[in-house]
Structure 1
Amino acid sequence: MIGTARHRRVPGWVVATVAAAAFAAIALIGVLITSNPGWSAQEIRIVIAVNGTSTAALDAIAHTIAVLLGPTGAAVITLGAMALAALLARSWVLGLRLGILIGFSWGTADLVKALVQRPRPDPALLPFPPAVEPTTFSYPSGHTAFAVALGVSVFALLTLARARYITLAAAIILVAATAWSRVYLGVHYPTDTLASMFLVPFLVWALVRWTGRISLFTRKGADRAHAASSGRWQRQP
């Protein structure tokens, strides 16, 4: 059942501090990497090696991920996930909360991208350069950030243990495949994807706690907004 999972109580200020520290750390690391050309010169070797394994089958997988988890595809997936969550919980409040978790954590990762402004890998160095060179900055990976945001957000709002385990396994596979695809296509460095993997879970955690303090998203608030709700909401600490 989709609802609000029960979590151990951690003071809100601790959650906010940890999330802010994660944001600051990832942004600072990005600035240091960008200001040190030697770092990217070392990483490009990995990008060239992964990009050089190109096959028709792997190309199809990587390009499919690129389209599905790109800005338009991610927006469609988010709306679909919100609608499905609302349908299963019989409450639009749950769908709205899921959308907030995904959208804000994903968007915050893009804020780091704008702050750091790391250039993309040089396509001229790649054995198989991308057909369309991205126009945005490289750090962190937006595709990977969305994959993490989607998986962690759904996991955070599930109530059934078995469904949570399945979601966690699926999220790990999705994130790993997305991170690989970005390096494989030659549009991201490995640290771009690692930054998204590290930052986004902390952002989702903070958003879960923040939304849990809003009356609309508590059990009483949801019941008042939706008398026909399934009644399976659990108050978020």
Structure 2
Amino acid sequence: MANGSFSRPHSFNQFLKQWMSRHWQSVTVALLGVLIPLQAFLILALVIWRHQGGLQWDIAILNGVHGMASPQLDAFAKVLTNFGTAWGVFPAVGLIALSLLFYRRWRSLTYVLITTIGCGMINTSAKAFLHRDRPSLWEHSSIHGFSFPSGHAMSSMVLVVALTVLAWKTRWRGLAIGLGSLFVTAIGWTRLYLGVHYPSDILAGWMLTLAWAISVSLIVRPNFQPPNLLEINALENQEESVPADELIPD
């Protein structure tokens, strides 16, 4: 071929260089968004498997958060924590899905559905497998179920990551990251303040969800836009109109 960039690589090193030059962004995303968070979750899960109670730093952070307790903060935390599921995340996911359905954004809709539904299934399975009891350092509202990883942390994170992925190629990316980070942190704080989760539950939920949502995005590619058929035809017509002698290299 005339263009040397499309020549067949003569060695593995040459192939690897060509492949990395085309896919380095995906490799970076897979490393930072999937491999490292997943490894962090697995380390936490292994530690929790061996030590079911709160870790030393878990207890220290919980006591520090509980030290700021007041009746006003109690009421605020109880209201805010509901936005991590029924009052916030669930309605938001529903609106996003309906909007994508209306605009026929099938890839994006598939991504949102797989990511959010899968996140709930993963959380249920992880809790059943690791069966970590909730903290009992002080009296809190009656909440059933196991503690690790935090469902509120996972649901808030999956919403933010999904929105960030969908907005990645738009001007709203920075806003999604900024406001999303505040939202995820606020929901995590409420779970600690109310005494229903250890910090390691929150951190594990964040890491597991990040790895899951990013890995699904690499497979589904929600922002992929196939070439327009008219553009393809125009390019083909343009190539056909070029004189044959111009297509032959010197």
Q: TM-score, normalised by structure 1?
A: 0.71
1:201–1:42 distance in 2 versus 1, CA, 3 Å: closer
Aligned position for 1:175: 184
Aligned pair count reads: 206
Q: Select the residue among 202, 210, 219 that pairs with 2:225.
A: 219
Q: Which has the larger radius of gyration?
A: 2
**Counterpart contact for 1:139–1:192, Cα < 8 Å:** yes
Q: Select the residue among 23, 26, 45 that pairs with 1:10.
A: 26
Aligned position for 2:69: 54
Q: Select the residue among 187, 212, 230 that pairs with 2:196.
A: 187
How far off its partner does 1:138 sit?
0.9
How far off its partner does 1:192 sit?
0.8
* Alignment partners' CA distance in 2, 1:222 and 1:32: 51
Where does 1:13-24 land on structure 2 (aligned, <5 Å)? 15=30, 19=34, 22-23=37-38
* Alignment partners' CA distance in 2, 1:60 and 1:24: 36
Matched, 1:29 2:35: no
**Counterpart contact for 2:54–2:135, Cα < 8 Å:** no
Unaligned ranges ≥5, structure 1: 1-6, 224-237
How far off its partner does 1:68 sit?
2.5
Unaligned ranges ≥5, structure 2: 1-22, 230-250
* Alignment partners' CA distance in 1, 2:120 and 2:38: 12
SS for the counterpart of 1:83 is: helix
Q: TM-score, normalised by structure 2?
A: 0.68
1:105–1:19 distance in 2 versus 1, CA, 3 Å: farther
Identity %: 23
How far off its partner does 1:36 sit?
2.1
- Bigger drift between 73-82 and 148-157 goes to 73-82
Aligned position for 1:203: 212
Aligned position for 1:131: 141
* Alignment partners' CA distance in 1, 2:162 and 2:182: 15
1:222–1:141 distance in 2 versus 1, CA, 3 Å: farther
Aligned position for 2:159: 150
